[in-house]
Amino acid sequence: MRYNLDFCDTFDKTYCFWLALFVRNKLTTLSNTQVLDKDTFADILQVLIRGEKNIDELKVLVKKARNIGLSGINTYFNPLVKLYDFLKTFGPASMKEIDEELLIDFLASYTAGLSDASKKNHRIALLNFFSYIDKQNENVDGSSYQFKIELKNWAGLGGKSGMKLPSHMNKDEINRFLEAIDNYEFSIETAYRNRLILKIIIYTGIRVSEMLNLRTKDIFREDDVYILQVRGKGNKPRVVMIKAKIIENDLQNWLSIRTCEDLLVCNKKGNRLTQAYVSRIVENILISAGIRKEKNGAHMLRHSFATLLYQKHHDLILVQEALGHADINTSRIYTHFDRERLKATTNLLD
C-alpha cells in the first residue's frame, strides 16, 4: 500500500510514520536465520505497521529486534534517528523541505570525527530511506514525490576505501590482555561465560555479533581443536578454529551451568547478550591491564587478531578467509601494520 508523502498532520508524526515503515521493510529483508524468538519478531512487525509511532517507541522496537538477533538494523536506524534530531531544529512543516543540500549539511555536522566506515553507513542509511519513500509515496492523482537523493557531492570521506587505521593491540599487549582475562574478578555466574567469549573472539577474530549468535550445535571438537561454524554478514557461512586447551576449561564449566535453550552464551534469563555488554567487559579488562587505546570496544579484539595474523603469515587471502571479508581490499588495511616490510624504505638512500 502507498501513502501520501505528508501522511500525518505534523512533520514529527510523518517522519516517524515513514521511519516505522522503512524499519519494517529492512527487518523483513535482513537475514532472519539468527532470529532467536520468532513470536517476538512477528509481534514487532505487526506493531510497526499498525498505527503511528513516536521516535521513543521506535527505539524500543528496534532494541527488541536487535536483542533477538537482528543487529544489522542499527546500521540503518541510528543514522535516521540522528537525522530526525537534526531536522527538528529547523521545524519543517513538510517532508518536501528535505533536499540533498540539507542532508549534506547533516552528514557534515553529525559525522565529523567518525571513521570513513561509519560515514559510509550514514550515507547508505539516508540513500536507502529516501529511495524507499520515493517508491512508496503516492498522491491522489497517482503521481509520487521523488527526492532522488544521490549524495555524490558529499566530500566527507577521506578516500575511496577509507584509510583510517583501526585501533589494535600489539603482541605484548595481547599477552597482557589474555593474562588479565584469567585474573579479572568476574562474578561466579559470569566468569566462565565471559572468559569464553573473550578468548574465542581474540583467538579467532570473529565479530562480536557472530560470537553472540553462536549456538551449541555450531561448536564441536575435532582432535586438539574446536571448530566453530560461524554465520557472518549476509548470512555467509565460514569455519574458524581454536585450540581446545585454550577454552576447554571455561567451555565445559559454562556448559554445566548455562540456562540457554539454544545459544552457546546468554544472560541469566536465557536471552541473547548485547554487544554493548561485551564491549564494557573488554574496556574493564583493558583498564585492569593498563592498556589504553583510542577505541576500547570489543571490535578492537578482531583488529588485533587480524593485525597479528598478517604480521605472522603475510597472507592476505588467509586474513580475508579468517575474518569473512567479502572483498580482499577490506583485508588490505592490515598490510599497513607490517613494520618489517616498511623497514625496507629506510634503506632507500643507503
Where along the chain do the CATH 1.10.443.10 domains lie? 171-341
pLDDT of 143 > 80? The answer is: yes
Whether 334 is catalytic: yes
| Top mean-pLDDT range of 104-113, 163-172, 264-273, 329-338 | 264-273
Whether 299 is catalytic: yes
Q: Which of 233, 236, 313, 341 is catalytic?
A: 233
User: What percentage of the chain reaches a pLDDT higher than 70?
Assistant: 90
Lowest mean pLDDT among 121-130, 154-163, 177-186, 198-207: 154-163
What is the DSSP code (8-state) at residue 273? P
Higher pLDDT, 328 or 144: 144
Alpha-carbon distances, residue 147 vs 28, 92, 96, 133, 272 (angstroms) = 24, 16, 8, 8, 39
Residue with the three cell numbers 529511495 = 131
Q: Which of 207, 231, 272, 303 is catalytic?
A: 207
Lowest mean pLDDT among 192-201, 227-236, 251-260, 285-294: 227-236
Q: Which of 59, 325, 332, 336 is catalytic?
A: 325
Whether 292 is catalytic: no
Q: Is 199:189 a contact under the CB 8 Å cutoff?
A: no
CATH number of 171-341: 1.10.443.10
Query: pLDDT grade, residue 161 (50/70/90)?
Result: very low
pLDDT of 268 > 70? The answer is: yes
pLDDT value of position 158: 53
Lowest mean pLDDT among 21-35, 47-61, 161-175, 185-199: 161-175
Residue with the three cell numbers 589504553 = 292
Q: Which of 119, 123, 195, 299 is catalytic?
A: 299
Lowest mean pLDDT among 99-103, 151-155, 322-326: 151-155
Whether 341 is catalytic: no
User: What percentage of the chain reaches a pLDDT higher than 90?
Assistant: 47
Residue 142 zone, left/alpha/beta (φ > 0; ψ -120 to 50; rest)? left
pLDDT value of position 249: 96
pLDDT of 160 > 50? The answer is: no
pLDDT value of position 83: 95
Q: What is the mean pLDDT of residues 197-226?
A: 94
pLDDT of 314 > 50? The answer is: yes
Whether 217 is catalytic: no
Please state the φ and ψ torsions of residue 129, each to the nearest 5 degrees.
Answer: -65, -50
pLDDT value of position 159: 46
Average pLDDT, the chain: 87
Starting at the edge strand found earlier in the chain, the sheet holding 219-222 runs 219-222, 225-231, 237-243
Q: What is the mean pLDDT of residues 255-281?
A: 90
pLDDT of 217 > 90? The answer is: yes
Exposed e or buried b per residue across 194-205, where buried means at least 16 C-beta atoms within 10 angstroms of its C-beta = bbbbbbbbbbbb
pLDDT value of position 168: 85
